[in-house]
Amino acid sequence: MIKAVYPGSFDPVTNGHIDIIQRGAKIYDEVIVLVAENVSKTPLFSLEERLDMLKEALKDIPNVRIDHFSGLLVEYLKKIDVKIIIRGLRAVSDFEYEFQQALTNKKLYPECETVFLVSDLKYTFLSSSMVKEIAKFGGCIKGLVPDYVAKKLYEKFNIEMENEDR
Ligand code: COA
């Protein structure tokens, strides 16, 4: 049984993440979606809220498990005995950062491998920050995040969802 870990902040999960997870789940026997800590970010949603949104978004994919960890990603991999990290590549601009992360993880845990899935063209521009910014100003985020996540975002920013397009 080959397992892989897909780590991220997921603040919140977007349709771009879900696309990568769905495709990863077709390649590996199990994909563990890991809410990990990015020390350079202060999340909008609590850990519990992010886990809840992921649970709802991924409920129809049987071979996906959701977990969380505070600490180095490689320590989590060792703990659960998984050697594959899935990452999504959206644009050339992602490459340098991803390259650095993959090499750092390899240095810390030589047995691990980072596998890159190229993002679907329609999500190459997407990021959690962009979705948060649009929602904060009451813009339309339909098609960018699941409806459940959109509801949570508008609630967070105290924005009425009377418009069907939102
Ligand atoms: N579709 C849409 N958006 C995507 C995406 C996709 N396929 N892939 C990434 N993104 C977005 C993310 O939502 C994120 O948006 P944001 O910056 O607005 O929040 C952005 O692109 C960057 O994503 P990512 O590089 O995955 O950052 P992250 O903060 O989500 O995750 C961790 C980074 C948590 C994986 C990393 O910090 C980590 O491994 N932490 C653990 C500690 C550790 O081991 N550190 C050393 C690592 S070398």
Domains recognised in the chain with CATH numbers: 3-124 (3.40.50.620)
Peptide bond into 12 cis (omega under 30): yes
Separation between Cα atoms, residue 45 and residue 127, nearest integer Å:
15
Residue among 92, 62, 63, 68 at smallest CA distance from 13? 68
The residue whose CA has the least distance to atom 11 of ligand 1 is 127
Active site residue 65: no
* pLDDT of the residue at 93: 83
**Exactly one of 50, 87, 90, 166 is catalytic; which is it?**
90
* pLDDT of the residue at 72: 98
Our mutation pick for probing the ligand 1 site, out of 15, 38, 113, counting the most ligand atoms within 8 A of Cβ, is 38
- Only one residue has tokens 């809220």, namely 49
Average pLDDT for 127-151? 96
Does pTM surpass 0.85? Answer: yes
- For the ranges 43-57, 83-97, 104-118, the lowest mean pLDDT is seen at 83-97
Is the C-beta atom of 15 inside 6 A of ligand 1?
no
